[in-house]
Structure 1
């Protein structure tokens, strides 16, 4: 049965799942919804009223990590390390990636220069930790694309969009390995395939509508 991914066009968490589906060449459907006006069935699929959710036959479950763990177990080409200890380490850095997304959101939505600057500093501090664990690449675990890579690619994409508006979201001298990892990820075919047309414009429009500090650079 063909899985159906429930998403919004801008959601980075749902894009994590779209990347895994693309990488594994899984035949699937994607249904984009409006969280401000969701369909009546959505709460039955996702009681937290969040995306992503995945519908497989009569079953539905939600949360990007849960979905990607299922996809990795269900379809060939495993993206988690086989070793349990290495797998646990990878899961930890996926969790850390969610905290990075929170800082990106704060940079997008902060109303004042001080709040936006604080959010950027928090993100760069997190990249200090990433810089210590990222190797020579091209991916997080070396030559093999992983669920960690799928988790960070949407974040890196959006940081690039922010950096084009407001330079300073990246620090090449401070985080050269992280930036090299980012550059490799954004060229990966599954990441390219997961990127919907007009994503950059949707991202900027979202910032405009929220009237965040970053709008002054538009």
Structure 2
């Protein structure tokens, strides 16, 4: 993992010449999206990790709402993971992460938007504000995953981007990495019907073997320790020393 997470009362580290600056957290899936794109494109960057429950005062100078992830290019600060990665794909075109064909690109963008329902379901399951059974939050996820399974089957490729990962692959990976966590938090079996998703199972195995992905992966035990602290009313969840 990266350096410790900075909080209230800290000082912002000086920028590193020749590198983009990413403000995020090691445990932020949206920040992981940005890291994946930066890694695939081999863009030099450094990371400043922020305690998301006690964001330092100097973050107001980075962004008025202190949002993370935030990418400082030296000329401008971008927030929102999708805005950031689209900027990076345009600024650093190699390797391209969207198809050159406009219709195929539109399809990939559509898939990323649809995956947002999975993101919302998992976030709701983690926070459990409605105090409902897990199935209440996750009921629509398998239907969306079935559409992704059919899409991989029709493309006849390992990744959504072809023989190399594209934007769809990179934007969905962080939640695949965390897929079991809502169930582990509740001591429930996931009972994922693997036989219905052979393409996605193979995709997941292939993704975690990629070097740009390996650089961002956090093991489940560490994820779990963080989540247990983060989801309770703890102003200092265990960002560090895990």
Hey, what does 2:143 align to over in structure 1?
Answer: 125
Match among 39, 42, 45 for residue 62 of structure 2: 45
Question: Following the alignment from structure 2 to structure 1, what is the Cα–Cα distance between the partners of residues 146 and 217?
Answer: 27
* Moved >4 Å (runs of 4+): 111-114, 160-165
Q: 1:83 Cα deviation (Å)?
A: 1.2
Unaligned runs of 5+ in 1: 212-218
> Deviations along 1:82-115, whole A, 9 cap, x unmatched?
1111111111111222221121223333378843
Hey, what does 1:146 align to over in structure 2?
Answer: 166
Question: Following the alignment from structure 2 to structure 1, what is the Cα–Cα distance between the partners of residues 197 and 60?
Answer: 41
> Deviations along 1:11-62, whole A, 9 cap, x unmatched?
1111011011111111110110012221223234334433211001131011
Question: Following the alignment from structure 2 to structure 1, what is the Cα–Cα distance between the partners of residues 211 and 171?
Answer: 15
CA contact (8 A) 1:72 1:78 kept: yes
Q: 1:67 Cα deviation (Å)?
A: 0.9
Question: Following the alignment from structure 2 to structure 1, what is the Cα–Cα distance between the partners of residues 147 and 213?
Answer: 24
Query: Normalising to structure 2: TM-score of the pair?
Result: 0.77
> Deviations along 1:170-217, whole A, 9 cap, x unmatched?
321222222221221122111111225xx5334212442336xxxxxx
Q: Greater CA deviation, 187-196 or 143-152?
A: 187-196
Hey, what does 2:192 align to over in structure 1?
Answer: 170
From the superposition, tell whether residues 11 and 133 of structure 1 become closer, same or farther in structure 2 (CA, over 3 Å).
same
CA contact (8 A) 1:162 1:169 kept: no
Query: Is 1:34 equivalent to 2:51 in the alignment?
Result: yes
Q: Which has the higher relative contact order, 1 or 2, with Cα contacts under 8 A spaced 6 or more apart?
A: 1
Hey, what does 2:88 align to over in structure 1?
Answer: 71
- Classify the secondary structure of the residue corresponding to 2:139: helix
Question: Following the alignment from structure 1 to structure 2, what is the Cα–Cα distance between the partners of residues 161 and 188?
Answer: 22
Report which of the two structures shows the higher radius of gyration computed on alpha carbons: 2
- Classify the secondary structure of the residue corresponding to 2:136: helix
Hey, what does 2:99 align to over in structure 1?
Answer: 81
Hey, what does 2:237 align to over in structure 1?
Answer: none
> Which of the pair is proportionally richer in helix?
1
Hey, what does 1:14 align to over in structure 2?
Answer: 31
CA contact (8 A) 2:180 2:190 kept: no
